[in-house]
Structure 1
Amino acid sequence: MEWRDRGILLSARRHGETSAIIEVFTPEQGRHAGVVRGGTSRKIAPILQPGAQLDLAWRARLEDHIGAFTVEPVRSRAAVAMGDRLALAGLNAVTSLVGFCLPEREPHPALYARTEALLDLLGQMELWPLAYLRWELGLLEEMGYALDLSVCAVTGSAEDLRYVSPRSGRAVSAAGAGDWADRLLPLPPVLRGEGDAPDHEIAQAFRTTGHFLQAHLAADLGARPLPEARARFVELFSRSLQTP
């Protein structure tokens, strides 16, 4: 069995004396693991950095074997990430969430395209938090947890939408919320693609997407906690808003 594809490196860990086991995300093969012979060598180890774009060839005797990769670098994102704490935290959040959410060897080409485009923006941190928020919304949709923010779930109106139901993921208007407003999640305009997307709205929106990632997606994956990398990115972004 063998295939060839491009992909994003999600993680790498040492295996034995000289090899590494890597996990990659590719458009046609999905999340896929394999061994890289000599992966700890001076030549190959610098290539195996999370977020790196790789040309991959995978081969195994049987399809269900872990198999072995040969890798060629296409693009490294390490230099950009290492030069900015928020960029590094964002990169780690993306690679960790992909590894956490996706079933092994299941293709998600649309999500792959979104992920590659997002990581290519890493050097533009004035754009990146909003792009990352949209990526999280796309991840929820891809996993079957899309938010419906078009009309109020209670009144059917599209006016004055202020909240999101934590159970259904549907919008709720101020009138529809009534006495339940303090139990609902915020719906800043940025979540509906409206307005100028100020950073404080993006921070609010992360609270809402984070709820559905943890309480719905992660819960259905066996009640596992979300990767800490996601919380670290959101915390670092939120702290940056308080810096004069």
Structure 2
Amino acid sequence: MTDTAREEILARISEALGRRGGGEYVSSSPRTAVPGTGGTAHAESGGVASANTAATAADAGYHHEGTYTGEALVELLIDRLVDYRANVHRADGDPSATISELIGDHSSVVVPRGLDSSWLAGYSGGVRVDAPGEFLSVDELDAQGAVVTASAVAIAQTGTIVLDGSDECGRRAITLVPDHHVCIVRTDDIVDIVPEGISRLDAHAPLTFISGPSATSDIELSRVEGVHGPRTLDVIILNG
């Protein structure tokens, strides 16, 4: 890449960031436009844009809160989840009947130690609890028909469910090895945009971001599901 091409790219990036934030921006050309002043100012470096100025401009125009609320927020999440080929279900107060229906054909399922036991009240198969000191091996996890967990946050705009390694979400391995994941998302844990979701999470927790069932299109652009995680993702939106 020539110096001229590099400078042009940096200039366009800097200009875009500045205009988004509504403040000053520094161009990579020797003369820097200053919106609102009716003129230009000379840039002493004559080249690379100021990182601090660009960062300030970008932050000034960055949204930290979404606009969707209530049922519209829930419907947006459902739309994104379905687009990612997840199966979505609704439940009021008690999801046990829905969970039982979804995992009824499996002889055994795994759950994290903190999952509400009443949620499996209607299930007649075996239940393996994964807990510190009693962690299931990979082979044991692979033998389970499904895993049932709660979730920490769901981000509607991106259709992303986040697990945080808490007692009701469990460690990451239990949601990667079994072929079927049933995940409960409480409506109170649904947010509109990514910054809202991140603000609710502990940055030091082992976070797992799930956007639909495991899938890849690496080989000849053919979509294959279940390569590096569950082939089936059932999401239960729990009201109340």
Common fold by TM > 0.5: no
Higher helix share: 1
* Structure number with higher relative contact order (C-alpha < 8 Å, ≥ 6 residues apart): 2
TM-score, length of structure 2 as denominator length: 0.26
Which of structures 1 and 2 has the bigger CA Rg?
2
Q: What is the TM-score normalised by the length of structure 1?
A: 0.26
